[in-house]
């Protein structure tokens, strides 16, 4: 049956293997991600049969001593189109980490560089942000297209064989490219060219965004400097003009503010501890990678505070049988479109669910107190 389906749709798959077809497929995949929807989950089902069949055909052709000419393959998508994740962001995260002048961008780069090397680029997409950031629209959509076109040129005109070997999608892009292409000498040349092209495409937009963030940070610094100068002037005023009463009033107001805030913080932590003991939280994303960021952050924060909270991370679609075992299900940003369906599933078993926004998810993953307070708040609703 599967073979019959492939034969029926073979003309479509052949058309998709052309320059225009490849551009439409992988341009759409990046475009969906840019607006916050998991692009591969939308586009890949339409081409999944071709991706696998073409890999098989390439290997068979290579073993028969023929040219493995198929471009639209699973390996090409994992390691050429999505080198460092959708949008081909591998070179970009290194720019953030080592070339950015902005402190915020360097911090994002350091936090995201390891996940991005293993094709989990959500930390970069949502923290930079890349998603819905007009500065990065052009390279994010067109770098993957340029990459797949370079691969096709090497296959069509230079005689390089296409991808023949199946590897996990989390293999770092450069390694997956070389191994998936069978260590062909041309593969090393193509890889170097792709990295250079991606760098050229991203660099002007990266530099523009870096300048923008530096300007924002400079304004913040000036505001802080002005505040410190004003505070210093006030102190000098008090010392030389004897306005102790004003100082006392200010100090009293500050003390009252601390008194007012302190019980709230303590109450929040106490409430969170009492509410979360014995609870179980499931975090879902598309592949089970991004969800681990928040699940691990919650587990670590709970352990440090002596809270008996159990967490787990899983891919959406594998969760249905697990739902009865959890009190709260949290959707990562790229899976947020499934919230309505998840709510129906949760209503049947009597637990709760919530979807996170991009920056919110990154912040929760990096701040244990906020992540625990967030879960406590959701459970109390």
| Domain positions in the chain | 2-213, 266-380
Distance CA 142, CA 165 (A): 26
Residue 6: pLDDT over 60: no
Known active-site residue 285: yes
331 and 316 in contact (C-beta within 8 Å)? yes
DSSP code string of 84-106? TSTTT-HHHHHHHHHT---HHHH
pLDDT at 7: 65
pLDDT at 248: 42
Overall average pLDDT of the 322-342 stretch: 89
Reported in sequence order, the residue ranges of 93-150 that DSSP labels E, i.e. its strands, are none
- 234 exposure class (CB count in 10 Å sphere: 0-12, 13-18, 19+): middle
Distance CA 339, CA 23 (A): 30
What percentage of the chain has pLDDT greater than the value 90?
50
pLDDT at 358: 74
What percentage of the chain has pLDDT greater than the value 70?
82
- pLDDT tens digit sequence for 77-126: 999 999 999 999 999 999 999 999 998 899 889 988 999 999 989 888 88
pLDDT at 49: 84
Q: Compute the mean pLDDT over every residue in the chain, rounded to the nearest whole number.
A: 83
85 and 33 in contact (C-beta within 8 Å)? no
pLDDT at 264: 40
- Rounded to the nearest 5 percent, the helix, strand and coil shares of the chain are 70, 5, 20
Residue 228: pLDDT over 70: no
Residue 245: pLDDT over 70: no
Answer with the residue of higher pLDDT: 238 or 353: 353
Selected catalytic residue, list 82, 97, 285, 346: 285
Does residue 94 sit in helix, strand or coil? helix
pLDDT at 250: 39
Residue 321: pLDDT over 90: no
44 and 26 in contact (C-beta within 8 Å)? no
- pLDDT tens digit sequence for 254-285: 344 434 444 444 434 444 555 788 999 999 98
**Residue showing tokens 């499934």:** 338
pLDDT at 251: 39
pLDDT at 47: 85
Weakest-pLDDT range from 55-59, 239-243, 333-337: 239-243
Overall average pLDDT of the 342-359 stretch: 89
pLDDT at 15: 64
- pLDDT tens digit sequence for 132-171: 899 999 999 999 999 999 999 999 999 999 999 999 999 9
pLDDT at 5: 56
Rg for the chain, CA atoms, rounded: 26
Residue 209: pLDDT over 80: yes
Distance CA 97, CA 112 (A): 9
- pLDDT tens digit sequence for 229-240: 555 455 545 544
Distance CA 107, CA 33 (A): 23
Overall average pLDDT of the 9-16 stretch: 61
pLDDT at 287: 72
- The torsion of the CA quartet 293, 33, 74, 110, rounded to 10 degrees, works out to -40
Weakest-pLDDT range from 2-16, 297-311, 312-326, 328-342: 2-16
Q: How many beta carbons lie within 10 A of that of residue 118, not counting itself?
A: 16
Task: Indicate the pLDDT class of residue 224, thresholds 50, 70 and 90.
Answer: low
pTM beyond 0.85: the answer is no
Fold category of 266-380 in CATH: Rossmann fold (3.40.50)
**Residue showing tokens 């030389």:** 240
pLDDT at 146: 97
284 and 329 in contact (C-beta within 8 Å)? yes
Weakest-pLDDT range from 107-116, 283-292, 303-312: 283-292
């Amino acid at each position: 049956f599967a073979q019959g389906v492939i034969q029926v749709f073979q003309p479509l798959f052949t058309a998709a293997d052309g320059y225009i077809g490849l551009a439409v497929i992988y341009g759409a995949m990046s475009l969906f991600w840019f607006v916050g929807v998991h692009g591969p989950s939308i586009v890949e089902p339409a081409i999944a049969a071709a991706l696998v069949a073409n890999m098989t055909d390439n290997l068979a052709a290579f073993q028969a001593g023929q040219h493995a000419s198929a471009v639209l393959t699973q390996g090409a998508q994992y390691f050429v189109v999505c080198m460092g994740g959708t949008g081909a962001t591998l070179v970009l995260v290194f720019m953030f980490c080592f070339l950015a002048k902005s402190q915020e961008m360097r911090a994002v780069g350091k936090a995201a560089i390891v996940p991005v090397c293993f094709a989990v680029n959500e930390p970069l997409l949502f923290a930079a942000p890349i998603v819905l950031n007009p500065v990065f629209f052009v390279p994010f959509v067109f770098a993957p297209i340029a990459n797949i076109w370079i691969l096709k040129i090497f296959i069509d005109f230079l005689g390089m064989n296409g991808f023949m070997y199946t590897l996990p999608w989390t293999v770092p892009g450069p390694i997956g490219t070389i191994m998936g292409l069978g260590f062909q000498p041309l593969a090393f040349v193509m890889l170097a060219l792709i990295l250079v092209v991606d760098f050229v495409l991203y660099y002007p937009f990266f530099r523009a965004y870096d300048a923008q963030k530096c300007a924002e940070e400079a304004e913040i610094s000036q505001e802080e400097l002005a505040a410190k100068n004003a505070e210093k002037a006030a102190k000098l005023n008090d010392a030389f003009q004897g306005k102790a009463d004003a100082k006392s009033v200010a100090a009293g107001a500050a003390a009252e503010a601390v008194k007012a805030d302190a019980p709230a913080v303590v109450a929040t932590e106490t409430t969170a501890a009492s509410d979360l003991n014995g609870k179980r939280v499931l975090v879902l994303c598309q592949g089970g990678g991004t969800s681990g960021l928040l699940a691990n952050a919650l587990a670590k924060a709970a352990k440090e505070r002596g809270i008996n909270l159990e967490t787990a991370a899983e891919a959406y679609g594998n969760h249905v049988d697990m739902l009865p075992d959890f009190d709260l299900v949290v959707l990562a940003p790229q899976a947020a479109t499934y919230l309505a369906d998840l709510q129906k599933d949760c209503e049947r078993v009597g637990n709760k669910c919530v979807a996170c926004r991009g920056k919110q998810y990154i912040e929760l993953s990096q701040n244990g107190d906020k992540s625990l307070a967030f879960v406590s708040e959701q459970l109390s609703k």
